[in-house]
A and B are shown apart, each in its own frame.
Chain A
Amino acid sequence: MSEQKKVYFHTIREKWCKGCGICVAYCPKKVLELKDGKVVAARAEDCIGCHACELRCPDFAIEIHEASGERKHEAEHVDFALPPEAHHA
């Protein structure tokens, strides 16, 4: 019997992504794609969780999580569009 395939999901902070294409180029399974200058996980089910994209991303815009536990979407709770002054008012 083969082991059950691990499932991964991608947290992508679109507002931080600058579309340099480094993650797309070094993904060994061609999971990622650029769409309108931002990265998207086009074939997330192929992901093997090697973290090559996450480690090389210069913008801290992509993270890989194993889908075993609870799904965390902490990135969605922060509004990164707010100017920094708004936080220091």
Chain B
Amino acid sequence: MSEFLSYFRQDRLPHIWCPGCGHGTVTGALVRAIDRLGLDKNKVCVVSGIGCSSRAVGYLDFDTLHTAHGRALAFATGIKMARPDLKVIVMTGDGDCTAIGGNHFIHAARRNIGITTIVMNNETYGMTSGQFSPMTPKGMLGTTAPYGNVERSFDLCELAKAAGATYVGRSTSYHVPLLIDLIEKALQNDGFSVVEAVTQCPTYLGRKNKLGDAVQLLNWIKDQAVNVKAAAVMPKEKLEGKFLIGELHNGPAPEYSAEYGELIARVQRSFENVKGGLWECASNSD
């Protein structure tokens, strides 16, 4: 399947991620979804912030941008506004997206700007040696939580839905076919789409919490995941301590950059009958 490899900067591989890290699986799922849709390489722009997950753009052979911590969505918003014809994808981690870039995230969702955000949630800050993040479950250990994390964690999908994202889905690095389907649908959605991919971090989260190696961590994630269709017929007490996977929200709404383009066209039209046109009016105004 050389088509699959053609989306990578092969000279940059093997990648920097630890053995057994799930970020590679998610990157592979994104490439497979793009391959399935047959998107033009030159019409895709992938943006990332800082963190383990954000290394992904260095290996992808699209137009890519590796930006400041948490600001991937801010940069992506600029790209989408300047070039609405591009397919803008943001690859971000749980710390990058919900802590440092939390505000950018909710406002990108509120505007419903046409960006596909893939959040690789490994429930820790892997790059800086395993501090707890806003997505670390309560009670888990981290280097900054040696006696257990007392903070409650975000439900990112609920947050995105409440903030106004039009497509929200969640999968894991174990449920890869579902992840590919979700990313494919998210890419087709005209608006802000969020796909949360729960991944394993064997080096920090796994080791610190004595959860075992990559395979045991994957099984641990698998046991917690419940498909949203199955959850609909399950009693509430059985769903405690579990998270839902699958398509969680799909509610199309007008897309921001298209709306903004229409506004510009409308204002320009309103100046058509004015003497001198838009340019004259603009240069004469204070």
- A contacts, CB < 8 Å to B: 15-16, 18-22, 25-26, 55-61, 63, 65, 72, 74, 78, 80, 82, 84, 86-87
Contact = CB atoms under 8 A, between A and B. Distances in A.
A56 B14 contact: no
A78 B8 CA distance: 13
Given A22-B215, A80-B10, 9 more contacts: A16-B14, A20-B214, A22-B214, A26-B215, A56-B25, A56-B174, A57-B28, A61-B14, A78-B10
B11 A60 contact: no
**Chain B CB within 10 Å, residue with most, of A16, A19, A20:** A20
B72 interface: no
A37 B20 CA distance: 13
A58 B24 contact: yes
Given A60-B8, A74-B2, A80 B20 contact: no
A72 to B, nearest CB: 7
A14 to B, nearest CB: 10
Contacts of B19: 18-20
A60 B28 contact: yes
B24 A59 contact: yes
**Consensus secondary structure, chain A interface:** loop
Contacts of A55: 25, 28-29, 32, 176-177, 180
Interface in B18-42: 18-25, 28-29, 32
A22 B11 contact: no
Given A18-B19, A19-B19, A82 B11 contact: yes
B46 interface: no
Contacts of B22: 58
B11 A87 contact: yes
Nearest to B32: A55
Nearest to B202: A20
B243 interface: no
